[in-house]
Amino acid sequence: MGNEDRNRATEKAYRREKFVMPWELTYLAGNSLGPAVASVADRLVRTSNDQWGQHLAGAWKKNGWLSAPEEIGDKISLLLGADQGTTLVCDSTSINLFKLLNAALAVDPQRKVILTDQGNFSTDLYIAKSVGLIHQDVTVRIVPRSALIESLDPSVAVLMLSHVDYRSGQAHDMASFNEKARSVGALTLWDVSHSVGIMALDFNASGVDMAVGCGYKYLNGGPGAPAFVYVKADLQNTLSNPIQGWLGHAEPFVFSDNYVPASGIKRLQVGTPTTFSLAALEEGVDLLLEAGIQLVEHDSRKLFDAFMAGLEPLVRKGHVHFMHDVQRGNVSGHIGFKVNDAEALHHRLMADNIVTEYRYPDLLRIAFNPLYTTVDEIERTAAKLKHLLGQH
């Protein structure tokens, strides 16, 4: 890396002062829980004192509490490369998967298959299976990743995939799966929990039908932050929310006995927005928008490159193994690798103020978030790994 790049990448961690975390910590687990955004505490105090305190129930309208799911959704759509009015913040990723899988199955009742891949994130598989339990005539087809394309046929209602493999960090090529799915008339449902906020997504160009994602990873929305749903504009009004709650109703405050879905993305809402969590999430999303997602992705790649360069001797000597063929086109915001004594290594790094993630039995994960991580920290991490593995 040239000096100029090094300075820029170093300087860009850069927004470290916008986060609350121990200064000496190298935090490489932001793909699990992003760090605390410094402005959140004040925002929550203001929400409580100036809004709730002053306006009480009037704040639902006066302070935009009711419209926050759509307004913050619109901000997130900028990170997704999607249109305004396509994204709604609500519920958890698991619940949103449930809603969209059921909705997708109802679009064409002749199609009875949910297709997904082995090793997809656990909750995605569990939710698909729970949908299968409710609809006895629905098959959840779970195949190896290499068999996904050949398994796409006209019986498939929805192809449900994670954009980024939570273990390896491998990113799927969204555009090609979307195209293949479209060619057999199947819808696509992407879980972008491990890419939103770290990769510059382009849902419009890659033809995504539906998506869900987490608020607490790279969006830095805090523990338990609400998730989001995305549905492309021309599909929204053909989807039925299987959980018909009052706030997905066209006129919730008429309190009619009969459910009439709202038009657009709003029909995917179920109940009362979680105001404080939404406010915290908005701070995280604003921080990203201010930084610029293209720059975040660009600088995340620089951290990745620095790590790969540092790790190269360990890979060459067979001390660490990647779980996939790492290439320019399949890089995401994190990398997972298998290593002997992974758990012990994780603890020894932690003792040196380097927070990685350990996943049973032998996996370490490292996330590259340039908002608060410098190239120097990444080089130090690689050097420490070499030292611990006896390769210094």
Ligand X SMILES: Cc1ncc(COP(=O)(O)O)c(C=O)c1O
Which residues are marked as active site? 121, 191, 216-217, 365
- Complex with ligand X: residue 58 or 224, whichever CB lies closer: 224
Sorted by sequence, the CB contacts under 8 Å of residue 260 that are 6+ apart come out as 249, 250, 251
152 part of the interface to ligand X, by CB under 6 A: no
Q: Pick from 77, 87, 193, 269 the residue near ligand X by CB under 6 A.
A: 193
279-308: which residues touch ligand X (CB under 6 A)?
none
Shortest reach from residue 227's CB to ligand X, in Å: 6
* Contacts with ligand X, 165-184, as mask; x by CB under 6 A: -x------------------
Which residue from 70, 191, 299, 377 is in contact with ligand X, where contact means CB under 6 A? Answer: 191
- The tokens describing 66, both together, are 């009711």
The distance of closest approach from Cβ of residue 333 to ligand X in the complex, given in angstroms and rounded to an integer, is 12
Nearer to ligand X among residue 92 and residue 151 (C-beta): 92
What are the residues whose beta carbons fall under 8 Å from the beta carbon of 363, sequence distance 6 or more? 167, 323, 336, 337, 338, 342
| Residue with Cβ nearer ligand X (226 or 248) | 226
CB-based burial of residue 61 (10 Å sphere; 0-12 exposed, 13-18 middle, 19+ buried)? exposed
Stretch of 10-18, 188-196, 201-209, 241-249 contacting ligand X, by CB under 6 A: 188-196
Q: Could you tell me the smallest distance in angstroms from the CB atom of residue 103 to ligand X?
A: 17
Q: Which is nearer to ligand X, 31 or 275 (CB)?
A: 31
CA 151, CA 270: separation in Å to the nearest integer? 33
Q: How many helices (H) and strands (E) would you count in the chain?
A: 15, 15
The 91-130 contact track toward ligand X, x by CB under 6 A, reads -xxx--------------------------x-xx------
Angstrom distance (rounded) from CA 160 to CA 124: 8
Of these, 103, 189, 214, 219, which contacts ligand X (CB under 6 A)? 214
Which residue, 211 or 214, has its beta carbon nearer to ligand X? Answer: 214
Give the range of 66-74, 90-98, 137-145, 338-346 binding ligand X by CB under 6 A.
Answer: 90-98
Q: Of all helices (H) and strands (E), which one includes residue 120? A: none
Question: Which DSSP category does 34 fall into?
Answer: P
Residue 100: phi and psi, rounded to 5, are -75, -35
Three-state DSSP state, 211: strand
Considering the complex, what minimum distance in angstroms separates the CB of residue 169 from ligand X? 12
Q: Please, what is the minimum distance in Å from the beta carbon of residue 228 to ligand X? A: 11
Structure tokens belonging to residue 26: 């190298």
Q: Which residues of 140-149 are buried (b: 16+ CB within 10 A; e: fewer)?
A: bbbeebeebe
Between CA 264 and CA 267, with CA 265 as vertex, the angle to 5 degrees is 85
CB of 193 or CB of 274, closer to ligand X:
193
Binding mask 37-76 for ligand X (x = CB under 6 A): ----------------------------------------
**Among 162, 170, 188, 381, which residue interacts with ligand X (rule: CB under 6 A)?**
162
Instruction: Please name every residue paired with 140 in a beta bridge, in sequence order, or none if there are none.
Output: 114
Coil, strand or helix at 253: helix
**Complex with ligand X: residue 95 or 371, whichever CB lies closer:** 95
Amino acid at residue number 192: V
CB 311, min distance to ligand X, A: 24
Sign of CA dihedral 367, 371, 376, 377: negative
Tokens 């382009």, residue located: 202
Binding residues vs ligand X (CB under 6 A):
92-94, 121, 123-124, 162, 166, 191, 193-194, 214, 227
